Structure 1
Protein backbone atom coordinates (compact mmCIF):
# COMPACT_ATOMS: atom_id res chain seq x y z
CA UNK A 1 0.00 0.00 0.00
CA UNK A 2 1.33 3.43 -0.96
CA UNK A 3 0.86 6.04 1.79
CA UNK A 4 2.16 8.96 -0.27
CA UNK A 5 -0.44 11.65 -0.82
CA UNK A 6 -1.32 12.41 -4.40
CA UNK A 7 -1.88 16.13 -3.72
CA UNK A 8 0.46 18.84 -2.49
CA UNK A 9 0.99 18.67 1.26
CA UNK A 10 -0.71 21.47 3.25
CA UNK A 11 2.34 22.07 5.46
CA UNK A 12 5.84 23.28 4.86
CA UNK A 13 8.82 24.38 6.91
CA UNK A 14 9.79 27.98 6.24
CA UNK A 15 12.61 29.56 8.25
CA UNK A 16 12.10 27.04 11.08
CA UNK A 17 8.32 27.69 11.18
CA UNK A 18 5.41 25.56 10.04
CA UNK A 19 3.77 27.27 7.12
CA UNK A 20 1.00 26.50 4.72
CA UNK A 21 -2.56 25.58 5.58
CA UNK A 22 -1.47 23.32 8.46
CA UNK A 23 0.45 26.14 10.12
CA UNK A 24 -2.55 28.42 9.72
CA UNK A 25 -4.94 25.85 11.19
CA UNK A 26 -2.62 25.16 14.12
CA UNK A 27 -2.36 28.87 14.94
CA UNK A 28 -6.12 29.32 14.77
CA UNK A 29 -6.77 26.26 16.92
CA UNK A 30 -4.16 27.19 19.54
CA UNK A 31 -5.60 30.72 19.74
CA UNK A 32 -9.17 29.41 20.05
CA UNK A 33 -8.06 27.09 22.87
CA UNK A 34 -6.29 29.98 24.58
CA UNK A 35 -2.85 28.37 24.32
CA UNK A 36 -1.48 31.39 22.46
CA UNK A 37 -2.69 35.00 22.46
CA UNK A 38 -1.81 38.51 21.37
CA UNK A 39 -1.44 41.57 23.57
CA UNK A 40 -3.36 43.52 20.93
CA UNK A 41 -5.37 42.04 18.03
CA UNK A 42 -3.29 44.14 15.61
CA UNK A 43 -0.05 42.54 16.84
CA UNK A 44 1.80 40.27 14.43
CA UNK A 45 3.24 37.98 17.11
CA UNK A 46 1.57 35.70 19.63
CA UNK A 47 2.78 34.77 23.11
CA UNK A 48 2.29 31.44 24.86
CA UNK A 49 -0.22 31.68 27.71
CA UNK A 50 0.02 29.92 31.07
CA UNK A 51 -2.53 27.32 29.93
CA UNK A 52 -0.56 26.97 26.71
CA UNK A 53 2.58 26.14 28.66
CA UNK A 54 0.70 23.36 30.45
CA UNK A 55 -1.03 22.01 27.35
CA UNK A 56 2.05 22.10 25.10
CA UNK A 57 3.89 20.28 27.88
CA UNK A 58 1.22 17.55 27.85
CA UNK A 59 1.94 17.13 24.14
CA UNK A 60 5.62 16.62 24.95
CA UNK A 61 6.69 19.97 23.50
CA UNK A 62 9.73 21.32 25.33
CA UNK A 63 9.19 25.08 25.41
CA UNK A 64 12.62 25.58 26.94
CA UNK A 65 13.85 25.18 23.34
CA UNK A 66 12.36 28.63 22.60
CA UNK A 67 14.60 31.56 23.38
CA UNK A 68 13.08 34.49 25.26
CA UNK A 69 13.48 36.76 22.23
CA UNK A 70 11.40 34.25 20.20
CA UNK A 71 8.33 35.06 22.31
Structure 2
Protein backbone atom coordinates (compact mmCIF):
# COMPACT_ATOMS: atom_id res chain seq x y z
CA UNK A 1 0.00 0.00 0.00
CA UNK A 2 1.34 3.45 -0.92
CA UNK A 3 1.00 6.10 1.75
CA UNK A 4 0.63 9.77 0.84
CA UNK A 5 2.95 12.07 2.76
CA UNK A 6 3.66 15.78 2.73
CA UNK A 7 7.35 16.50 2.09
CA UNK A 8 9.52 18.53 4.46
CA UNK A 9 12.42 19.39 2.18
CA UNK A 10 15.90 20.06 3.51
CA UNK A 11 18.08 22.51 1.61
CA UNK A 12 21.62 22.67 2.97
CA UNK A 13 21.01 23.38 6.67
CA UNK A 14 17.46 24.72 6.54
CA UNK A 15 13.91 23.54 5.85
CA UNK A 16 12.85 24.55 2.38
CA UNK A 17 9.77 24.09 0.26
CA UNK A 18 6.22 24.85 1.28
CA UNK A 19 6.81 23.80 4.91
CA UNK A 20 9.73 26.21 5.26
CA UNK A 21 7.68 29.01 3.73
CA UNK A 22 4.71 28.32 6.04
CA UNK A 23 6.97 28.20 9.11
CA UNK A 24 8.63 31.50 8.16
CA UNK A 25 5.26 33.18 7.55
CA UNK A 26 3.96 31.93 10.91
CA UNK A 27 7.09 33.08 12.77
CA UNK A 28 6.79 36.52 11.17
CA UNK A 29 3.05 36.80 11.89
CA UNK A 30 3.60 35.74 15.53
CA UNK A 31 6.37 38.34 15.89
CA UNK A 32 8.98 35.65 16.62
CA UNK A 33 11.29 36.80 13.82
CA UNK A 34 11.60 40.21 12.19
CA UNK A 35 13.70 42.28 9.84
CA UNK A 36 15.54 45.42 10.88
CA UNK A 37 14.11 47.15 7.77
CA UNK A 38 11.56 45.86 5.22
CA UNK A 39 14.25 45.53 2.55
CA UNK A 40 16.62 43.42 4.70
CA UNK A 41 17.30 39.94 3.39
CA UNK A 42 17.95 38.45 6.83
CA UNK A 43 15.76 38.08 9.90
CA UNK A 44 16.58 38.14 13.60
CA UNK A 45 14.88 36.38 16.49
CA UNK A 46 12.89 38.80 18.64
CA UNK A 47 12.75 38.63 22.44
CA UNK A 48 9.22 37.24 22.11
CA UNK A 49 10.50 34.69 19.60
CA UNK A 50 13.31 33.62 21.91
CA UNK A 51 10.76 32.88 24.65
CA UNK A 52 8.40 31.06 22.27
CA UNK A 53 11.12 28.94 20.63
CA UNK A 54 12.52 28.02 24.06
CA UNK A 55 9.03 26.99 25.19
CA UNK A 56 8.83 24.74 22.10
CA UNK A 57 12.11 23.10 23.10
CA UNK A 58 14.33 24.90 20.56
CA UNK A 59 17.75 25.65 22.07
CA UNK A 60 18.32 29.12 20.62
CA UNK A 61 21.60 29.38 22.54
CA UNK A 62 23.09 27.33 19.69
CA UNK A 63 22.54 30.29 17.36
CA UNK A 64 25.52 32.62 17.27
CA UNK A 65 24.69 36.22 18.12
CA UNK A 66 25.41 38.94 15.58
CA UNK A 67 25.32 42.71 15.82
CA UNK A 68 22.44 44.27 13.89
TM-score (norm. length: structure 1) = 0.82
Whether 2:4 is the aligned partner of 1:5: answer yes
Partner of 2:55: 58
- Residues 56 and 5 of structure 1, relative CA distance in 2, 3 Å threshold: same
- What are the ranges of 5 or more consecutive residues in structure 1 without an aligned counterpart? none
Partner of 1:67: 64
Partner of 1:42: 39
The 4+ residue runs of structure 1 with deviation greater than 3 A are: none
**Count of residues in correspondence between the two structures:** 67
- What are the ranges of 5 or more consecutive residues in structure 2 without an aligned counterpart? none
TM-score (norm. length: structure 2) = 0.85
SS of the equivalent of 2:10 reads strand
Q: 1:18 aligns with which of 15, 19, 28?
A: 15
Whose helix fraction is larger, Structure 1's or Structure 2's?
A: 1
